[in-house]
Amino acid sequence: MKEEYVKGTQWTAKYLLYLFKPQNHKLKGLLLNYLILLLLTFSFCSCSTDTISIHKPITDGELLISKSKTFALGFFTPGNSTSRYVGIWYYNLPIQTVVWVANRDTPINDTSGILSIDPSGNLVLHRILSTIPIWSTNVSLPQSLTNNNTVVIAQLSDIANFVLMLNNTKAVIWESFSYPTDTMLPYLKVGFDRKANQSWFLQSWKTDEDPGKGAFTVKFSTIGKPQFFMYNHDLPWWRGGPWNGALLAGIPNAKRARTIYNVSFVGDDNSVAISFNMIDKSALTRTIVQPSGFIQTLTWDNQKSQWNQFFTEPTNQCDNYGTCGSNSNCDPLNFEDFKCSCLPGFEPKFPHDWYQNGDGSAGCVRKKGASVCGNGEGFVKVVSLKVPDTSVTFDKGGLNLEECEKECLRNCSCTAYATANVRNGGSGCLAWHGDLMDIQKLSDQGQDLFLRVDKVELANYHKSEKGRLDKKRLLAAILIASIVAIVLLLSCVYFMRKKKRNEKVMQQLNQDSSGEENGPQSNTRPNLPFFSFRMITAATSNFSNENKLGQGGFGSVYKGVLVNGQEIAVKRLSKDSGQGKKEFKNEVTLLVKLQHRNLVRLLGCCFEKQERMLVYEYLPNKSLDFFIFDQTQRSSLDWDFGMARIFEDEIQARTKRVVGTYGYMAPEYAMEGLYSTKSDVFSYGILLLEIIAGKRNSHREKERSSPNLIGHVWTLWTEGSALDIVDPALNQFYPSDIVLKCIKIGLLCAQENAMNRPSMLEVVFMLSNETPLSPPQKPAFLFNGNQDLQESSTSGGGSSINGLTETTISAR
């Protein structure tokens, strides 16, 4: 490569010297050496360039590289050829893939080529030491644009467009996208502009080694309604069809392509243009016209380092233009060798060739004796077609289908009509006059064609349509009845299985708890929905860590979303939690009965595959402990903050199992198993003091003597400095008399003797009214300094007995 650079640089220097024509031979030698040194300096600089200027041409061996390093422009030799061409190709691909050629019909047979900008402002390809152009942009520019104050440059863009422009205004003088060769790239357009007398089309190479203009051309026709065509020496070879408002119906996979392409089409009476770009901007794709007569769309596969085919045309006999002649339909889905059939009201033009030789190229003609002009004729619908060649159509955009039918019926030469734009239910009117050519049956992106027939054919059509409609109705009725029966049967089976499963689950839950004496929930069944393990697994994304809300001694809590969109919180008990079937059933039964607006609602449970799970409503604002025990969040709460209120009847019972959280359990319950509503009052008092202090009852501080919060509050109360426990986050912004009242109520609720504690009704009265309060007695201290307690690591729920932590209740 270095030798090629030096050689090219020497040729460039000699060419420039030739232009200067110095008469002094000594001066000539000095200039030559200087120019070579200067050009070599530019050639071997570490920077790459995407621009040609008047003073900076490129020679054979040099490259222009687009800023994104996607495309390169330079000299290349295709295949085993010896000729040199200027072209654009993908820069970083292992396979050199050329997308544009400048001098496709005028190659250079050596490496003396140079691409420069001449004094007139045109791009010119010529040989060194020669001023005869091999190729040129040949643009006529006003003298005012080529004076010394205006600089013309040519730049290779990141979309492979080589643009000649004025450097000071970026005004485009010429661009390669206006003169494509055989390849259509994203943002390059194919079409025509009648006013500018310009067209943009693709033309194949002659061979894989000769980029000269080949036999096959892809462009939009300008006769009738414009349509996408591939021609073989100006004869129709394949037809992509007209734009129907959504796609070119004759291009296969057009609907699927819209998932990876953005297709743009603009058209009016004077101009038509179609282009595309990729939704994934990093993907590489191109559409190419092959020398063999195929149009292909290819995408680059980075993993396999190869071009993969997205679609190719033509692919079957019906894709070739006019396979079945006029007034006939070619069906590629027909597995027989002969794929042609005459349209309704038509018969083969040459029956012997049609039936005996399987040759339908002559097409079909109207049946003998048929009258389609003012004799009771009408239209029949032929469904899902690539509409006929629109060279003989009139596009009447302001008409709907009904108006289109009337318009066509008034003109005896009108043979068929269809919707011009399929979007939004259809609009516009396409009317055909004369024979109908190149019709093909399409499986998924075809249009309906309304064909003119005589009254006999029309009557036969309506009769057959009625028969088909009756059959369809009968089949539909049978199908609906069958579906209803199946749904009912499956529903019955589902509900019976669900009922049996629920009964089995409850039977399992009752097996261990049915003999529990004096149990608070024995021999009771909660009326609660059961969730399947599969349903909960799907809702929580298989209990993913991203959905994990917290973890405690009982297990973990996960966020989930049901199929109906409802958000849930799933408490999944771990096998090591120590909670058995009796405790699980007791918790379910208790929570079902506790329905209150300030309590989290239990939605259901799961008892399947040795799994025990509770399904709660999801609280997006989290629980109270998230706010009052967090250094940052607690600052968002002030003293007007609301508290939950719970009312219960006076009931006392004794249980053999003590379940709950240390720090909140009343002493008579923790020590003797005696439980009553006064036990709840104790827990409420602890919670009230925690809210005021912003600390847990189990929170320990080295500087104080008491191991827990309640002991510390009692000490400060007896010393007359109870306000010292108030959360510092309140910043002294609170009513001291009300705070002292709340502290006193908290201590009254937490008294050691249950009989001395007020009822919750009395607590509410004390909080809501100005009334004298009796002095509190010594509270119960459940902790001592030597007690080893395990605290929840994530949920913040304190310590637990029997592996159970408390159920957090938040004010809302």
Those residues with Cβ within 8 angstroms of residue 464's Cβ, 6 or more apart along the chain or in another chain: none
Q: Which two tokens stand for residue 68?
A: 């994104």
Residue 289 Rama label (left phi>0; alpha psi -120 to 50; beta): beta
Cα–Cα nearest to 586, from 693, 495, 681, 658: 658
Q: How many CA atoms lie within 13 A of 758 on its CB side?
A: 21
Separation of alpha carbons 737 and 723, rounded Å? 10
Give the pairing type, strands 285-289 and 295-301.
antiparallel
Is residue 700 within 8 A of residue 786, CB to CB? The reply is no
CB neighbour class for 3 (10 Å; exposed up to 12, middle 13-18, buried from 19): exposed
Q: Which two tokens stand for residue 601?
A: 């609602």
CB neighbour class for 335 (10 Å; exposed up to 12, middle 13-18, buried from 19): exposed
Query: Phi first, then psi: what are they for 321, rounded to 5°?
Result: -60, 130
How are strands ordered across the β-sheet holding 113-117? 58-59, 113-117, 123-127, 135-136
Question: DSSP secondary-structure letter at 751?
Answer: B
Separation of alpha carbons 590 and 668, rounded Å? 20
Is residue 783 within 8 A of residue 712, CB to CB? The reply is no
Separation of alpha carbons 133 and 290, rounded Å? 29
Separation of alpha carbons 695 and 704, rounded Å? 14
3-state secondary structure of 375: coil
Residue type, 647: F
Separation of alpha carbons 715 and 781, rounded Å? 12
Q: Which two tokens stand for residue 332?
A: 């590629």
Query: Phi first, then psi: what are they for 554, rounded to 5°?
Result: -75, -25
Q: At what angle do helices 736-749 and 677-693 cross, to 10 degrees?
A: 150
Separation of alpha carbons 317 and 294, rounded Å? 13
CA dihedral 562, 566, 567, 569 (to 10 degrees): -70
The strand ranges marked E within 522-561 are 548-552, 555-561
Q: Which two tokens stand for residue 433?
A: 């006059």
Separation of alpha carbons 70 and 597, rounded Å? 63
Angle made by CA atoms 261, 263, 266, in degrees to the nearest 5: 170
Q: Which two tokens stand for residue 209?
A: 């080694």
Element (H, E) at 114: strand 113-117
Separation of alpha carbons 747 and 295, rounded Å? 88
Q: How many other C-beta atoms lie within 10 A of the C-beta of residue 327? A: 26
Alpha helical stretches, state H, 750-802: 760-768
Residue type, 735: P
Separation of alpha carbons 338 and 184, rounded Å? 35
Q: Which two tokens stand for residue 227?
A: 């349509």
Which residue is listed with tokens 């909140």? 664
Q: Which two tokens stand for residue 773?
A: 């309060």
CB neighbour class for 543 (10 Å; exposed up to 12, middle 13-18, buried from 19): middle
Does the annotation flag 571 for ligand binding? yes
Q: Which two tokens stand for residue 12?
A: 């460039």
Give the pairing type, strands 306-313 and 295-301.
antiparallel
**Residues within the annotated binding site?**
571
**Residues within the annotated binding site for ATP?**
571
